[in-house]
Structure 1
Amino acid sequence: MINKIMQSPVVKLRDFRLLAFSTFFESVTRGENVVLGWVILELTDSPFMVGLAMGIRHAPAFFLGITAGTISDLIDRRTLIRVLMATAALVAFLMGLLLASGKAELWHLLLIPAIGGTIHMTLNTISRSFVFDLVGQENGLLGMSYLSLAIRSGGMVGALVVGFALGEWGAGAGYFAISVGCGCAFLFLALIKSPGNSAPSRRGGLANGFSEFWKELKRNRTLSALVLIVMSVELFGFTSHTLMPSIARDIWDMGPEGLGVLHAFSSAGGIIAILLVSMFGQGGRHGLRFIIVLHVFGVALLLLGLAPSVHIAILAIVLMSGMMSLSDLFSQTLLQRLVPNDLRGRAMGAWTTAVGTGPLGNLEIGALASILGVTTALSLHGGALILLAIVTFVTFKNLREI
């Protein structure tokens, strides 16, 4: 398996390898879900407040996603991601100092992660477009799969490291670990030399960039439909992560280390799914495979909600995370294949805007869990996701054939 990965045409590209290593370390920041969720839950004892905090952290994606994508089409992506990564390291370090000093208040826990969330949202938008710059459209799915592998493996390490630091030394140490991860990511980004053979021409200004993409959305109905589908998947599927602290503490009687372990299993599920695609899944019909993933995703949510034991719950989390990973992979690849080369950053910005609706889902599922319980909330979301998958299969023929 390792030999097959090393022989991959995209892994042989030096700058792509550097981007992948950088992404691995940047993804340690996903451990922030562990420390932030736990601190908010301990402070307020409310799943709704956890949902609110997560929602605020991810809210900038909805408002700034297309702006970030447009800017990335007009400015050298290498420069943008280096500046943003250095800023992310500083923000995490400052948050760690606040928590370690014991002076952090609730408004700090809502505002500062929102700033960090804005930075990482922009980084994710740019890096996914940068993959196609470096590897070309013909290797786009392969490049995206390896980038996703770096994201998931980094997220798994981050969940374990941050969860351990949280349990042993407190929340401040968790954020210091995140800051170190961002610093390492910056060092790898500084070594990237090429903008990529498929980099956009970077013509025009910001206003013209918005106008061009709006025209493309109106002209390309499959593109606009896919953006709406991604938005719905975010609302019904991905928001389930908001309930992880409650699942760990209230259902399975786990502490912060246990929550970190659940997040690690979640990352492991994504890694397994991406490995399978990177080695065996390079065929066509990406649209149809995307729709199949949505069906399985919904079933995994139902299984998690109704799990009779912690072992079944972990199995459901692994399956759910695998489908999350594949949903992201196929939707990101499909969107970039549906637009001209100079609009790929904006296409990923539209994807970011679509997933930026997640804060609404975080609030909704947090409120639903507070009123009806975690099991009911997960079951309702799983059923809604299965219904969405069925409607997508029946309605969008063009998407099935891509």
Structure 2
Amino acid sequence: MTADSRSATAASLPPHAGVPASGWVAFRSRDFTLFCIARFVSAIAFMVQSVALGWLIYDLTASPLALGLAGLVAFLPVVSLALFAGHAADRYDRRAILLICAAIGTAAGIGLLLTVASGAPPIWLIYLLILVFGTTRAFAMPTGQALLPGLVPVEHFPNAVTWTSSAWQVATVIGPALGGILYAYGSTVVFAFATTCYAITIGLYALIRTRSALRPRQPISWNSLLAGLRFIRSRPVIFGAISLDLFAVLLGGATALLPIFARDILHVGPSGLGLLRSMPAVGAISMALWLARFPVRRHAGPIMFTAVGVFGLATIGFGVSQSMPLSLACLFVLGASDMISVLIRQTLVQIDTPDAMRGRVAAINALFIGASNELGEFESGAVAAITGAVAAVVIGGAGSILVAALWTRLFPPLWQRDQLVDQPLLSTAAETSPRTD
């Protein structure tokens, strides 16, 4: 598209086109509403089930290594199947993939429930079922990300990302607490609840009317599997956003060391640890509600990099704090600033990617996010073993700031990005924007 045609297109758009919508506007789309509820219910089920599995495995084995293996088994499918999951999301109907994943998750939940109800569940069978859940998540995460832009008009997409992100954050607060409460009534109760939630998502996804656009079905080959990597590498905005998330979270993994701070530095015990763990999510939820009302309209790039810098400063502040109120405040700011950068990064990555490539790009993005979380915890623990917990957190926060400063030089288009949704993208999507009800 030439500069003149872009100007003509912009002139024909509504006065506020390209400006992120605020409030509840994304929920005008019936399909998005169903999708958001399904993701929230699924996230609650995942959080409740994760807490229950942790208790169950430790009750059966009394082994910290067994707990670590459970996390590894859940993460392995995300790593090993990322390229295949992305290819599937770009080859087949994305709504159908989500339905299949929800159905398999429900079946695995029933299997887990029956296994636990037997009274003496073998640990290998529990690991096998965890592997099944990990496989469904490996396909559902990129498919859901790829489907989301087609559920709302493009100008409402930042608002949709805000609400889906806040739904996840709310689930991270409610889910673990709910799982602990339900487990007190018996392991079968909590697994029955999680399975019921998975079953509900089947109905919600089935009610979504949006269908994936017809795309040519490329044969599976290394060329098609690696197309997402090549596309990301060729787009400085997308490559910069994904890699910034990887390295900033990798270095700033202070939450992995919270038990040390709760016991040895702040002396607040298990109850204080629970409060510390919940505070980043509280900050993220608060910021998500703020951004839903007052969205990022201009200077998206500088705001994102500033948020990463604030994330690093808050991490350093938490590391040096010896006061519980100050530590809570730092974690609140940490979560809030991370929500800002997450919203901008996710919007840029998904909205700047053509629909035919969204599955593969989303799969790689999900892989990087998962790797940064898992490896970030390992990095924090390894550095803490050498330097101590306080120094490890401070070094990590400083590293996040350094990465943000360096990325402004390495990826100028990302730093200079003004609007989240460019005017040309609006005109491109005009003919295919979904109808809102």
TM-score tier, shorter chain, comes to 0.7 to 0.9
1:209 and 2:224 aligned: yes
C-alpha contact (below 8 Å) 1:301/1:381 kept by paired residues: yes
Question: How far apart are residue 81 of structure 1 and its match?
Answer: 0.6
Mean alpha-carbon deviation: is it higher for 335-344 or for 212-221?
212-221
Give, in angstroms, the shift of residue 185 of structure 1.
2.3
1:77 aligned partner? 94
Partner of 1:312: 326
CA contact (8 A) 2:236 2:414 kept: no
Kindly report which structure 2 residues correspond to 1:99-138, keeping only aligned pairs within 5 A, or say none.
103=120, 112-138=129-155
* 2:248–2:399 CA contact under 8 A, matched in 1: no
Contact persistence 1:236–1:384 (CA under 8 A): yes
Aligned match of 2:407 in 380, 384, 392?
Answer: 392
Task: Give the deviation of 1:13 after TM superposition.
Answer: 0.7
Residues 146 and 386 from structure 1, CA distance in 2 versus in 1: closer, same or farther, beyond 3 angstroms? same
C-alpha displacement of 1:20: 0.8
AA aligned opposite 1:143: A
How do 1:45-56 and structure 2 match up within 5 A? Answer: 53-56=70-73
1:233-284 Cα shifts (integer Å, max 9, x gaps): 34223x44444556566753116xx665555444322211111222212413
Q: Larger C-alpha radius of gyration, 1 or 2?
A: 2
Structure 1 equivalent of residue 368 of structure 2: 354
Equivalence map 1:3-402=2 (5 Å): 5-6=23-24, 8=25, 10-28=26-44, 29-32=46-49, 34-35=51-52, 53-95=70-112, 98=115, 103=120, 112-166=129-183, 168-169=184-185, 173-195=189-211, 199=213, 201-207=215-221, 209-237=224-252, 239-244=253-258, 252-254=268-270, 262-358=276-372, 359-369=374-384, 373-402=388-417
Separation in 2, partners of 1:111, 1:372 = 37
Q: CA deviation at 1:211?
A: 4.9
Quote how far apart the aligned CAs of 1:39 are: 6.3
Distance 1:309 1:102 in 2: 45
Quick check: 1:41–1:49 contact (8 Å CA) kept in 2? yes
Paired residue for 2:420? Answer: none
Greater mean alpha carbon deviation, residues 184-193 or residues 88-97: 88-97
Task: Tell me whether 364-373 or 82-91 shows the greater mean CA deviation.
Answer: 364-373
CA RMSD of aligned residues (A): 3.3
* Cα distance in 2, alignment partners of residues 45 and 374 from structure 1: 24
Contact 1:162 1:177 in 2 (8 A): no
Counterparts of 1:391 and 1:23, CA distance in 2: 35
CA contact (8 A) 2:35 2:208 kept: yes
Give 1:382's aligned amino acid. G
Distance 1:373 1:119, change over 3 A: farther
* Counterpart code for 1:189: Y
| CA gap 1:157/1:90 in 2 versus in 1, 3 angstroms | farther
Q: Is the 8 A contact 2:146 2:355 kept in 1?
A: no
- Note closer, same or farther for the CA distance 1:69–1:247 as it changes in structure 2 (3 Å cut): farther
Letter in 1 for 2:155: E
Superposed CA offset, 1:78-136 (max 9, x none): 11111111222333454455556664576666654343233224222211221101114
Distance 2:120 2:382 in 1: 28
* Alpha-carbon distance in structure 1 between the residues aligned to 2:395 and 2:55: 24
Q: CA deviation at 1:226?
A: 3.2
- After superposition, the Cα gap between the structure-2 partners of 1:49 and 1:224, relative to the gap in structure 1 and judged at 3 Å, is farther
Provide closer, same or farther for how the CA distance between residues 54 and 380 of structure 1 changes in structure 2, counting only shifts above 3 A: farther
- Structure 1 residues 293 and 90, CA gap change in structure 2 (3 angstroms): farther
Give the letter for the 1:113 counterpart. Answer: I
User: What's the offset of the Cα at 1:45?
Assistant: 7.3
Residues 219 and 266 (structure 1), Cα distance of their counterparts in 2 relative to 1, 3 Å cut: closer
Cα pair 1:159 1:264 within 8 Å, conserved: no
Unaligned runs of 5+ in 1: none
Q: Secondary structure of the residue that 2:85 maps to in structure 1? A: helix
Q: Distance in 1 between matches of 2:133 and 2:47?
A: 11
Mapped partners of 1:316, 1:97: distance in 2: 43
Q: Distance in 2 between matches of 1:97 and 1:219?
A: 49
Which protein is richer in helix relative to its size?
Answer: 1
